[in-house]
């Protein structure tokens, strides 16, 4: 263990369905510095494992210690109300309550939980306002999905340090950026921000209020749906549509028209989520911070802002971080910055490693 403590570098490995992205953060004193970056697109018929190999062959990483993540149907996140007790007692008690919250058998999953500072909301429990109750974040993932991630990482000669959840990686990246937390005036609704990462096949949402998560969800709509819409509209292959979607100056009208139905579906689900959290949590979502390859589509951020009636902007998870230009192509890093939120959030665990 002493060897690991001296090693102050950690790679956040975002195993996307179409692109693998890796960011390395190294602690120089208390300051995290970007010391490695690589991304590799998975070609048709290609494998995630081959993309990971390519990343580590070209990324000039100092460390082989990685944190990766899980998402999708193997993961369940719940915000529940439990009687006030110590965290150790909570971990024992929650095992007798899982049938209320999880669609899986207890012996099929790995559980983790985090007591929250805020009071339970009305949807978490009818006793949510009682002073003897506390809000608890419960996360569960099928053991098989975790084991598959570990085997994939170890199969590439890497050392897995932790397996996270995509929606929580968003919050860790936000915290690393040091973005300000809105303060609410007495008697006014608590303010919140929504972190929305539009990946290839799904969109992750994490709503933060008072520095804590109060709602998270995944929507099965993403950038690949936009790409397919462009491909159908222009009668071209998906790889051609992806290139046109990213640099659409010559085809802006065609791309905007093609992706409009996908954006409307995405915004509809996003609006339902934000309305739900505002109603049940008593918060006001004032801003949407957008990330992921899907928001690189032309007009996506503006459409989301107009349709939801909330400020929306693309955010850079590298804000405030120093980059070691002798090891990292800074221009390429900045080009893809908006797609690196999950990887940065995973690598941010270096502060606690």
Same domain, 10 and 154: yes
Residue at 22 is within a domain: yes
Residues 304, 288 contacting (CB under 8 angstroms): yes
Given this model, what pLDDT does residue 256 score? 87
Distance CA 307, CA 310 (A): 8
Same domain, 150 and 271: no
Residue at 110 is within a domain: no
First to last CA, the chain: 11
Same domain, 213 and 257: yes
Same domain, 281 and 171: no
DSSP string spanning 306-319?
Answer: HHHTSEEEE--TTT
Same domain, 34 and 54: yes
Given this model, what pLDDT does residue 263 score? 93
CATH number, position 226 = 3.30.420.40
Residue at 102 is within a domain: no
Given this model, what pLDDT does residue 243 score? 84
Distance CA 92, CA 231 (A): 52
Closest Cα partner for 204 from 248, 170, 174? Answer: 170
Residue at 123 is within a domain: no
8-state DSSP, 108: G
Residue at 111 is within a domain: no
Residue at 90 is within a domain: no
Q: What's the alpha-carbon Rg for the chain, to the nearest Å?
A: 20
Given this model, what pLDDT does residue 3 score? 40
Given this model, what pLDDT does residue 124 score? 57
Q: Are strands 311-314 and 283-291 parallel, antiparallel or unpaired?
A: parallel
Same domain, 222 and 287: yes
Return the bridge partners of 203, or none. 198, 219
Q: Where are the alpha helices (DSSP H) in 212-251?
A: 223-234, 238-246
pLDDT digit string, tens, across residues 48-79: 999 999 999 988 999 999 999 999 999 999 99
Same domain, 186 and 262: yes
Number of domains within the chain: 2
Same domain, 234 and 152: no
Q: CA dist 292 to 21, 260, 313, Å? A: 11, 18, 12
Residues 149, 293 contacting (CB under 8 angstroms): no
Residue at 103 is within a domain: no
Same domain, 152 and 61: yes
Given this model, what pLDDT does residue 113 score? 94
Same domain, 232 and 346: no
Distance CA 229, CA 11 (A): 34
Question: Could you give the 3-state DSSP secondary structure of residue 203?
Answer: strand
Residue ranges, the chain, pLDDT below 50: 1-5, 7, 126-128
Given this model, what pLDDT does residue 298 score? 75
Residue at 120 is within a domain: no
Same domain, 201 and 295: yes
Same domain, 33 and 148: yes
Given this model, what pLDDT does residue 179 score? 62
Domain that holds residue 280: 181-314
DSSP string spanning 126-154?
Answer: TTTTSTTEEEEEEEEEEHHHHHHHHHHHH
């Amino acid at each position: 263990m002493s060897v690991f403590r001296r090693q102050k570098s950690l790679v956040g490995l975002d195993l996307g369905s179409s692109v693998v992205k890796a960011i390395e953060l190294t602690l120089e004193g208390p300051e995290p510095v970007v010391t490695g970056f690589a991304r590799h697109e998975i070609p048709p018929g290609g494998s995630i494992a081959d993309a990971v190999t390519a990343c580590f062959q070209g990324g000039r990483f100092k460390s082989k210690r990685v944190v990766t993540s899980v998402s999708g149907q193997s993961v369940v996140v719940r915000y529940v109300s439990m009687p006030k007790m110590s965290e150790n007692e909570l971990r024992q008690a929650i095992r007798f309550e899982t049938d209320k919250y999880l669609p899986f058998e207890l012996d099929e999953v790995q559980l983790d939980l985090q007591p929250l500072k805020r009071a339970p909301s009305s949807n978490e429990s009818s006793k949510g306002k009682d002073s003897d109750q506390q809000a608890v974040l419960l996360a569960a993932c099928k053991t098989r999905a975790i084991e598959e991630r570990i085997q994939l990482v170890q199969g590439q000669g890497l050392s897995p340090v932790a397996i996270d959840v995509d929606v929580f990686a968003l919050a860790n990246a936000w915290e690393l950026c040091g973005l300000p937390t809105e303060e609410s005036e007495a008697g006014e609704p608590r303010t919140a921000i929504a972190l929305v990462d539009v990946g290839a096949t799904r969109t992750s949402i994490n709503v933060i209020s008072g520095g804590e998560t109060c709602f998270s969800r995944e929507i099965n709509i993403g950038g690949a749906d936009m790409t397919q819409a462009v491909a159908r509209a222009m009668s071209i292959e998906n790889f051609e549509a992806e290139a046109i979607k990213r640099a659409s100056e010559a085809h802006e009208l065609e791309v905007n028209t093609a992706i409009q139905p996908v954006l409307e579906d995405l915004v509809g689900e996003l609006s339902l989520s934000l309305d739900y959290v505002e109603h049940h949590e008593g918060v006001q979502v004032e801003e949407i911070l957008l990330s992921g390859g899907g928001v690189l589509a032309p007009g996506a951020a503006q459409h989301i802002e107009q349709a939801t009636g909330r400020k929306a902007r693309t955010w850079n998870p590298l804000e405030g971080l120093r980059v070691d230009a002798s090891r990292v192509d800074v221009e390429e890093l900045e080009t893809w910055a908006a797609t690196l939120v999950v990887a940065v959030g995973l690598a941010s665990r270096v502060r606690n490693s």
